[in-house]
Structure 1
């Protein structure tokens, strides 16, 4: 059974980053909208290669998510289905689905705007501000996530990612990878 603390984290991710239209469930259109929003953030137009790459990646993530989490096969993933799927992940994070690993890498690459292999506070907070989070809160979240360091590398991010979905410790650095400084 998922704890209230972990459920809050999972629903933060679901509501802020996946359920783009606020319908209470996630479908393919939410991922298409996310690709459009991300492309606007980066200045990519619909015909650009980076726009297509972003859309293709997010649609692969959607296909993987739907195949695993859409328990009733209605073409949508509800918040309950979402939480249940991540609860299963928490029991064995080393056996993550390909789409989960792909999404982790996508988020890291999205945040690493300079493409230098690390995320800094400005890169991190800019992404989360574009999703409607408070930029100052995202900066505070980065400081907690980075444990006071100037940046977070890809290997560090992978560990923080796992921690986000598994930990019950409210002070664990991984809790802050999605731009929120408290739960």
Structure 2
């Protein structure tokens, strides 16, 4: 069972994604997330980047509902999401696959690393705010080289969703909560 710390950090992401503030995640929330992200990047419908981002986000919605929508009502409550979080230690490969897809979506210039500005864009897309991010990225960039490599991102992403260490830098993946 997820700890109170895990629930608190996942709840922060959940609330940020719940665009209509109805207490559930549904397809429209993922469509809103997609639109915020492509808007930040300036990608227009029909372009390859737009369609790739839409496929990524809506694919994540499909996977989330398949794993967590226990009552099949086409919406996911925080409790249903936390049931998935409880399962994550057993599906490490799926967590890393999601991290790789997210890395590719965040790495706008395709240089195989995430710069602070790219991280800021994704946090803004998820939360609608970049408040405090100038202090967060240095905590994520443990080796201090100014970016996140794919390996670093995978570990941070995995530990955010599966970890329970309040001192881990991974807790700041989505900014302050």
Give your verdict on TM over 0.5. Answer: yes
Structure 2 distance, partners of 1:101, 1:162, is: 7
Asked whether the equivalents of residues 20 and 29 of structure 2 are also in contact (C-alpha less than 8 Å), the reply is yes
Indicate if the aligned counterparts of 2:115 and 2:148 stay in contact, CA closer than 8 A. Answer: yes
Distance 1:34 1:103 in 2: 16
Residues 134/107 of structure 1: CA separation in 2 closer, same or farther (3 Å cut): same
Please show how residues 31-180 of structure 1 align to structure 2 within 5 Å.
Answer: 31-89=30-88, 91-96=89-94, 100-130=95-125, 131-135=127-131, 137-147=132-142, 148-180=144-176
Q: Do structure 1's residue 8 and structure 2's residue 8 form an aligned pair?
A: yes
**For residues 33 and 132 of structure 1, what CA distance do their matches in structure 2 show?**
11
8 Å CA contact retained: 1:122, 1:139: no
1:129 Cα deviation (Å)?
Answer: 3.0
Give the root-mean-square deviation of aligned CA atoms. Answer: 1.8
How many residue pairs get matched? 175
CA contact (8 A) 1:61 1:102 kept: no
**Contact persistence 1:129–1:138 (CA under 8 A):** no
| Contact preservation (8 Å) 1:93, 1:162 | no
Distance in 1 separating the partners of 2:46 and 2:34:
13
1:31-87 CA-to-partner distances (Å, cap 9, x unmatched) read 111111111011011222221221122111111110110011111111110111112
Alpha-carbon deviation of 1:21? 1.7
Q: Distance in 1 between matches of 2:79 and 2:150?
A: 30
Q: Normalising by structure 2, report the TM-score.
A: 0.89
**Residues 1:126 and 1:95: Cα distance change in structure 2 (over 3 Å):** closer
Q: Which runs of 5+ in 1 are unaligned?
A: none
Give distance in 2, aligned partners of 1:81 and 1:174: 22
Q: Give the alignment's TM-score, normalised by structure 1.
A: 0.86
Query: Hey, which bits of structure 1, 4+ residues long, moved more than 6 A?
Result: none
